[in-house]
């Protein structure tokens, strides 16, 4: 759809370029992989100077719409969801710590549906990869007392969610979830340090999701993922002032005790009382958590 004349009059020249190239793509004049016309022709077509054209093209390169090839011109990218949603991650990183809860709320809407779709579509290869990721988590729980690796536990968490999102078969789900994972990891790391036992709860919740995926049960997968993501959202909502990127503590320096978020959210989602633990936690029950390990838990989601 072309830009209305009234809107065109209020735009800067680079914005004219951005909108003009967008219009050329949406009307089919340019498609994925197309080479842009030479500068002179495109300047004439869009009614802009060469400097403005180049500025607009640079912006579209940053957005993942165009790519420049040295000595070969500028091309439209594949326009795949991963590329186009990539800048969303940058925007998410710029959100204030207090706004982490809003990003988590978006994930709470998306990830249960992604899990439900994955339960129907997941391949044996993706199931095996998810199992390998959680095996890494089990190994971390076997670390010496007080030495659980926080960064590694966050990696396990994000890798598991990536596998589930990809297995949903919906590239938009996968791309948006991927874009949000980095920013919300800060909230999870904050909870990891202050919420006792979070590492083990996270691992148990991951196992419960994986069990539902393995059984190809979309309803159960949706419920398990809802419980899993809502727990950290509720925690973050109550402690937003402490979720700074620099890891600053709560105002009074106290550690938050683990609340009943998991149980409450299980009831809200219609899950059975043991929803936050899942059948897999019984199969892979880590040894008891020491005080040091408890303070090194990671938030689920």
pLDDT, tens only, 291-301: 334 333 334 45
Residue with the larger pLDDT of the pair 191 and 167: 167
> How far is Cα 18 from Cα 46, in angstroms, rounded to an integer?
10
> How far is Cα 269 from Cα 17, in angstroms, rounded to an integer?
47
CA angle (172 as vertex; 271, 55 as ends), nearest 5: 145
Cα–chain-centroid distance for residue 38? 38
Residue 264 predicted with pLDDT over 70: no
Q: What percent of the chain has pLDDT over 90?
A: 44
Reported as a single tens digit per residue, the pLDDT across 52-89 is 999 999 999 988 899 999 889 999 998 888 788 877 77
- What pLDDT band is residue 3 in, cutting at 50, 70 and 90? low
Q: What is the CATH number of domain 5-76?
A: 1.10.10.10
> How far is Cα 23 from Cα 15, in angstroms, rounded to an integer?
12
Reported as a single tens digit per residue, the pLDDT across 97-149 is 667 778 888 889 999 999 999 999 999 999 999 999 999 999 988 877 667 78
Q: What percent of the chain has pLDDT over 70?
A: 68
Residue 221 predicted with pLDDT over 60: yes
Superfamily of domain 84-294: GntR ligand-binding domain-like (1.20.120.530)
Instruction: Please choose, from the candidates 218, 227, 214, the residue with its C-alpha nearest in 3D space to the C-alpha of residue 277.
Output: 227
Average pLDDT, the chain: 76
Which pLDDT does position 183 carry in this prediction?
Answer: 56
pTM above 0.85, yes or no: no
Q: Can you give the C-alpha Rg of the chain in angstroms? A: 23
Which pLDDT does position 279 carry in this prediction?
Answer: 41
Q: Which residues contact 55 (CB under 8 A, 6 or more apart)?
A: 13, 14, 17
- Domains of the chain, by residue range, sit at 5-76, 84-294
Q: Which residues contact 16 (CB under 8 A, 6 or more apart)?
A: 8, 46, 47, 48, 52, 56
Residue 159 predicted with pLDDT over 90: yes
> How far is Cα 29 from Cα 64, in angstroms, rounded to an integer?
18
Q: Using N-to-C axis directions, what is the helix angle for 50-62 and 39-46, rounded to 10°?
A: 100
């Amino acid at each position: 759809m072309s830009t209305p004349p009234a809107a065109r009059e209020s735009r800067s020249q680079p914005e004219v370029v951005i909108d003009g190239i967008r219009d050329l793509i949406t009307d089919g004049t340019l498609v994925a992989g197309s080479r842009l016309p030479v500068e002179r022709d495109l300047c004439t077509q869009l009614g802009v100077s060469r400097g403005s054209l180049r500025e607009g093209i640079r912006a579209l390169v940053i957005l993942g719409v165009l790519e420049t090839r040295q000595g070969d011109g500028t091309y439209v990218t594949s326009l795949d969801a991963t590329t186009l949603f990539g800048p969303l991650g940058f925007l998410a990183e710029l959100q204030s710590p207090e706004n982490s809860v809003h990003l988590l709320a978006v994930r709470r809407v998306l990830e249960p549906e992604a899990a439900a779709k994955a339960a129907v579509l997941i391949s044996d290869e993706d199931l095996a990869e998810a199992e390998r990721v959680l095996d890494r988590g089990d190994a971390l729980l076997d670390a010496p007392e007080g030495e659980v690796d926080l960064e590694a536990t966050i990696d396990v968490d994000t890798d598991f969610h990536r596998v589930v999102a990809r297995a949903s078969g919906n590239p938009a789900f996968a791309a948006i979830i991927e874009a949000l994972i980095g920013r919300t990891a800060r909230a999870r790391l904050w909870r990891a340090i202050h919420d006792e036992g979070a590492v083990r709860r996270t691992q148990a919740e991951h196992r419960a999701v994986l069990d539902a995926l393995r059984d190809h049960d979309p309803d159960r997968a949706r419920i398990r993922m809802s419980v899993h993501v809502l727990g950290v959202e509720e925690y973050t909502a109550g402690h937003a002032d402490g979720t700074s990127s620099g890891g600053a503590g709560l105002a009074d320096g106290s550690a938050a005790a683990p609340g009943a978020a998991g149980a409450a959210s299980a009831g809200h989602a219609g899950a059975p009382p043991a929803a936050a633990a899942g059948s897999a936690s019984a199969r892979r029950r880590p040894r008891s958590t020491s005080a040091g390990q408890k303070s090194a838990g990671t938030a689920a989601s």
